Amino acid sequence: MASVALLSLDHSLILLHLPGRYPQFLNILTGMKHRSQNESKERESVTEVINKVDVVGDDVSDGKVAGQEFSNGFVGLVRSLISNSVSGDSLNLGIRELVYEVVEVRSDGNVSTRKNNETTLVEVKRLYESVMSMDFNQHAILLNFGSLRAIAMQENVYIFNYNRFYCGKAFIDALLPRLKGPSMPYILEVVEAALHSQIQRLEQRLWDLESRVQALLEVLPNRLTGDILEELRISKQRLVELGSRAGATKQMLLDILEDTHEIRRICIMGRNCTLQKNDEMECSVLLEEQIAEEEEEEIEMLLENYLQRCESCHGQAERLLDSAKEMEDSIAVNLSSRRLEVSRVELFLQVGTFCIAVGALVAGIFGMNLKSYLEERAFAFWITTAGIIVGAVIVFIPQEKEKL
């Protein structure tokens, strides 16, 4: 028992000195702060590891030697945790973190695939919100354009869900040529490439839908078939989706342009500058302040350019949608006219049937086996036949006048 008490005291001293001697351990503790919901599980796991080492220490006669072995073992545990942070499965501590496979594009144009855990990418959950946004913080820009989700930093950008959507490849294709020649700061090139790929994708979808809708408008409403009506319905649905996405992008750009604070946060990113309460930039070097002001104007012009293109795309989508709705109304009127024509023919047949039925009733009365002496006279037959025809005409003509 004495050895156990001595071992526990040595363990406490070693744990106190670990953050100073091993900075990696301090980084692990800092990362754990972001996981407040799992703190209890982490403490239980660490306690379990220490207890296991204490059990081993009972068999050691020298407490200092046991403490040294614990120190080496725990440092090895921390190093193992750091080396396995890519896989996101910290089995030694019983902590399992989410692992995100991302495509990294560095400022030198190097593209690679890597895996990052949730602790490394603290704000990655904000990328999976349903609202389209472009958020800024002190060190990174979070781009959430629906199908394109990325985190842009000073020297690299992480692209999520690269293999699920075509937009990831389109974004990289738009970014890499900008890095070859003289360019703006890397993070601004990333923002421009993201906006360019987003707006270009909207415009491409608009062009495809425009040609399809124009072809349908030329055929309709003279040619009404099930396939054409189904294609019109699908085109209308895609126009609604396109208009919604273009409207969300337009609103996002408007919000950024109306908030000068967000634009200036982009300008001071990576510089020794701060924003005052009145949104004035204050830099330690005058040259950096001048460059930041010039970049602010460039960013505003850039956003206004893409806002204009987005408004044009949104307006054209709305016009095509209105044309499709008008065509649907025209088709509905045409179908209603045809239904009225069918109803008219049906009513005509019903009136004719009624007149013939009345005549058949009269003929049936005269055809009964009752002697009235009229059956022996020829003029009675002709008078009855003429009466049936005249009566049918008299009943039918007023009905036709009422329909007209």
Give the type of residue at 168. Answer: G
Q: How far apart are CA 381 and CA 5, in angstroms?
A: 133
Instruction: Examine residue 106 and state whether it is found in any structural domain, yes or no.
Output: no
Residue whose pair of structure tokens reads 């930039």 in the numeric block: 281
Q: What's the confidence (pLDDT) of residue 9?
A: 42
Q: What is the pTM of this model?
A: 0.60
| Residue 255 shares a structural domain with residue 308 | yes
Please count the other Cβ atoms lying within 10 Å of the Cβ belonging to residue 339: 10
Please count the other Cβ atoms lying within 10 Å of the Cβ belonging to residue 296: 17
Q: How far apart are CA 121 and CA 102, in angstroms?
A: 11
Instruction: Examine residue 107 and state whether it is found in any structural domain, yes or no.
Output: no
| Residue 243 shares a structural domain with residue 392 | no
CA angle 233-238-241, nearest 5°?
130
| Residue 328 shares a structural domain with residue 372 | no
Q: How far apart are CA 215 and CA 227, in angstroms?
A: 14
Instruction: Examine residue 346 and state whether it is found in any structural domain, yes or no.
Output: yes
Q: What's the confidence (pLDDT) of residue 63?
A: 38
Torsion of CA 97, 101, 106, 111, to 10 degrees: 160
Q: Which of 22, 52, 87 marks a domain boundary? A: 87
| Residue 312 shares a structural domain with residue 174 | yes
| Residue 219 shares a structural domain with residue 313 | yes
Instruction: Examine residue 153 and state whether it is found in any structural domain, yes or no.
Output: no
Task: For 146-197, write each residue's pLDDT tens digit.
Answer: 778 888 888 888 888 777 666 778 888 888 888 876 667 788 888 888 888 8
Task: For 87-145, write each residue's pLDDT tens digit.
Answer: 444 444 445 556 667 888 888 888 888 776 654 555 555 555 556 777 777 678 888 88
Instruction: Give the total number of structural domains in the chain.
Output: 3
Backbone φ, ψ for residue 150 (5° rounding): -150, 160
Question: Over its length of 404 residues, how does the chain's per-residue pLDDT go in tens digits?
Answer: 444 443 444 444 444 444 444 454 444 444 444 444 444 454 454 444 334 434 333 433 343 333 443 334 433 433 333 334 434 444 444 455 566 678 888 888 888 887 766 545 555 555 555 567 777 776 788 888 877 888 888 888 888 877 766 677 888 888 888 887 666 778 888 888 888 888 988 999 999 999 898 888 888 877 778 888 888 889 999 999 999 989 988 998 898 888 877 777 777 776 667 776 766 777 776 777 777 777 788 888 888 999 999 999 999 999 999 988 888 888 888 888 889 889 888 888 887 788 778 777 877 777 766 666 666 777 777 887 787 778 777 766 766 565 55
Q: How far apart are CA 232 and CA 88, in angstroms?
A: 48
| Residue 261 shares a structural domain with residue 217 | yes
CA distances from 186 to 111, 203, 247, 251, 299 (A): 14, 25, 28, 25, 13
Residue 142 bridge partners (DSSP): 135, 151
Instruction: Examine residue 149 and state whether it is found in any structural domain, yes or no.
Output: no
| Residue 204 shares a structural domain with residue 323 | yes
Q: Which of 284, 300, 335 marks a domain boundary? A: 335
Q: What's the confidence (pLDDT) of residue 39?
A: 47
Q: What's the confidence (pLDDT) of residue 66?
A: 38
Q: What's the confidence (pLDDT) of residue 375?
A: 66
Q: What's the confidence (pLDDT) of residue 229?
A: 86
| Residue 323 shares a structural domain with residue 183 | yes
Instruction: Examine residue 350 and state whether it is found in any structural domain, yes or no.
Output: yes
Find the farthest-apart pair of alpha carbons in the chain and give their distance in angstroms, rounded. 146
- Domain of residue 50: give its range: 2-87
Residue whose pair of structure tokens reads 């006219």 in the numeric block: 337
Instruction: Examine residue 136 and state whether it is found in any structural domain, yes or no.
Output: no
| Residue 201 shares a structural domain with residue 288 | yes
| Residue 183 shares a structural domain with residue 267 | yes
CA distances from 177 to 171, 189, 199 (A): 11, 10, 18
Q: What's the confidence (pLDDT) of residue 315?
A: 92
Q: What's the confidence (pLDDT) of residue 107?
A: 80
| Residue 231 shares a structural domain with residue 295 | yes
With a CB cutoff of 8 Å and minimum separation 6, the contacts of 239 are 209, 213, 317, 320, 321, 324
Q: How far apart are CA 64 and CA 187, in angstroms?
A: 53
CA distances from 271 to 99, 158, 284 (A): 31, 21, 9
Q: Which of 282, 310, 335 marks a domain boundary? A: 335
Please count the other Cβ atoms lying within 10 Å of the Cβ belonging to residue 212: 17
Strands (DSSP E) found in 277-324: 281-283
| Residue 248 shares a structural domain with residue 232 | yes
First-last CA distance in the chain: 112
